[in-house]
DNA sequence: ATCTTGAAAATACTATACGAAATAGTATTC
DNA sequence: GAATACTATTTCGTATAGTATTTTCAAGAT
């Protein structure tokens, strides 16, 4: 009988990856990320649960969390809808917030980094460079993902979990990626300001600023690895300001 | 016609206070706030729904939101439990974070405040003083609520909604109040270190530091009302550091 | 023609019951 | 005494039904 039970257990379906509602949360977030759910679009619980082939319960929990993340908004008795793209002011506010915490985080990271951290930081920079060489069409996405990991890594090395946590909660790379995608999609739709937008991206992200961002990351990483707090702080500050300058025209094109 | 419509709406049963799950969210948060749900205690969906006399659905949504607020932790397949009290490190991290954003917010507030803001700020200071005169037993709670409103107000006057939002999400007054209450309750339970704790609170919160905090608030409010950004920034910085000093021994007593 | 209005349809919200699966605790076997 | 098997409890997800509210839209009133 023991054998029988064991056999039964072996044949049993995979032991359950995690909690379904967490997976649904990630899935919906991804849908927002890549415009499967467009900014401002209504999010219907029923159709989502049908689409994802789960019941409403996990969908509801996921949406509740996404709401408190500020990624979707709830209007009582009217339902959820994806939040709009960042306005110019919101973009500025967000980057001002980042300017308050991230330069400090970089400074701390330079002070406190250990060998594990150094290895991780070097690895991230290395993998980013090789990935960006081949990314091709998905280059901006690859850049965005690297950017997210890079900043997350530094804030975690800072040793202050509260700061690291709040950086995460900005979901800034998600917001920036949505801005990028929104313009890109308009381009595909063949809007007349296509040339402007096209120029913007080719110039800023794929050839120009993509490389520029990596250069800025290099400067930050270098300062941290050399344990030079002042330099790390300045480099991070410069990077965030420079990044804001790159994104402002994109947001402006939509406001 | 318009009249008729209005009439019909009036006779109709109350248009529904809001969404139940929002109310439940507030209720559970309040239960955490005042130790009806103790730190680390398990939170059972079923019993909560029975206790609050609602079904499980709104409880689930509320708990999902509370989790992303960091007030409740979820262990997959084991359920929810209230988070522990802040450790010394967490307290330090939290206050470091506040030091990064709140002095800046005070500075901005001093630059940008308008008449509406001035009126609100004066009113808050005034009502706090009168409330604290009469509060008696609930003095610390009154102080805590004033503190929360005061800092929220300033961060909102700063004009940066992202910063204001993230200040809110620290739930710092809730965490501090829990620390306070935890010690207070132990006192009631008659623990032997009662004298120590008693002394701590009588000295720091009810007579001493309660007044001190108000004095510090006064200095901040004055600087902002006089539109002196530099002074506002330094005053806020000093206040947060001083506040941390007041709470550290409390947290230390529990770690 | 514009504006109400009011029913039908769609959707959000809540309640409830059930089942599958995992955890935790207890008993049993070797 | 340790590994195993069994039981109880609890979480997690599903399904479904019913109510409340918003939305839609076409007929009727101004």
Token digits of residue B148? 């929360």
Condensed to tens digits (0 to 9), the pLDDT of residues A164-205 reads 999 999 999 999 999 988 887 776 555 444 455 555 555 555
Q: Is the CB of A9 less than 7 A from some atom of nucleic acid strand D?
A: no
In chain B, residues with a C-beta closer than 8 Å to the C-beta of A97 are 101, 160, 162-163, 166
A66 Cβ contact partners less than 8 Å away, ≥ 6 residues apart: A25, A28, A29, A32, A72
Which regions of chain B does DSSP assign to beta strands (E)?
Answer: 42-43, 72-75, 79-82
Backbone dihedral region for residue A97 (phi beyond 0: left; psi -120 to 50: alpha; all else: beta) = alpha
Q: What mean pLDDT comes out for the span A224-243?
A: 98
Residue A11 binned pLDDT confidence (cut-offs 50, 70, 90): very low
Q: Is the CB of A207 less than 7 A from some atom of nucleic acid strand D?
A: no
Q: Is the CB of B19 less than 7 A from some atom of nucleic acid strand C?
A: yes
The torsion angle over the Cα atoms of residues B9, B12, B13 and B16, rounded to 10 degrees, is -40
B163 Cβ contact partners less than 8 Å away, ≥ 6 residues apart: A93, A96, A97, A100, B101, B104, B105, B155
Token digits of residue B134? 């009469």
State residue B9's pLDDT score: 31
State residue A198's pLDDT score: 53
Q: Going by CATH, does the domain composed of A8-82 fall within 1.20.1250.20?
A: no
Residue B199 has pLDDT above 70, yes or no: no
DSSP-derived pairing of the beta strands B42-43 and B79-82: antiparallel
Q: What is the assigned CATH class of domain B10-82?
A: mainly alpha
Mean pLDDT of chain A: 86
Q: What is the CATH number of domain A88-252?
A: 1.20.120.530
Q: What mean pLDDT comes out for the span B109-120?
A: 98
SS3 content of chain A, % helix, strand, coil (to 5): 75, 5, 20
Token digits of residue B158? 């700063």
Closest CA to A179 of A252, A238, A72, A74: A252
**Is A27 exposed, middle or buried (CB count within 10 Å of its CB: 0-12, 13-18, 19+)?**
middle
> Taking the domains of chain B in order of start, what are their residue ranges?
10-82, 88-252
Inter-chain CB proximity B165 and A70 less than 8 Å: yes
Closest CA to A100 of B150, B103, B238: B103
């Amino acid at each position: 009988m023991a054998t029988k039970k064991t056999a039964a257990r072996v044949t049993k379906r995979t032991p359950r990856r995690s909690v379904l509602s967490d997976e649904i949360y990630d899935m919906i977030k991804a849908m927002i990320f890549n415009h499967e759910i467009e900014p401002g679009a209504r999010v219907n619980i029923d159709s989502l649960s049908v689409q994802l082939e789960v019941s409403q319960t996990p969908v509801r929990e996921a949406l509740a969390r996404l709401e408190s993340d500020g990624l979707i908004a709830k209007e009582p008795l009217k339902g959820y809808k994806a939040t709009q793209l960042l306005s110019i002011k919101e973009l500025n506010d967000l980057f001002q917030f980042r300017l308050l915490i991230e330069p400090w985080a970089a400074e701390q990271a330079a002070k406190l980094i250990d060998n594990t951290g150094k290895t991780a930081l070097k690895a991230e920079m290395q993998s980013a460079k090789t990935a960006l060489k081949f990314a091709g069409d998905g280059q901006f996405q690859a850049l965005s993902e690297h950017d997210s990991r890079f900043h997350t890594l530094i804030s975690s090395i800072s040793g202050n979990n509260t700061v690291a946590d709040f950086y995460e909660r900005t979901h800034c790379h998600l917001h920036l990626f949505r801005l990028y995608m929104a313009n890109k999609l308009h381009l595909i739709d063949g809007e007349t300001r296509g040339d402007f937008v096209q120029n913007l991206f080719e110039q800023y992200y794929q050839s120009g600023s993509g490389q520029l961002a990596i250069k800025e990351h290099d400067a930050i990483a270098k300062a941290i690895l050399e344990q030079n707090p002042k330099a790390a702080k300045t480099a991070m500050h410069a990077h965030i300001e420079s990044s804001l300058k790159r994104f402002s025209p994109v947001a402006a094109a939509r406001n």
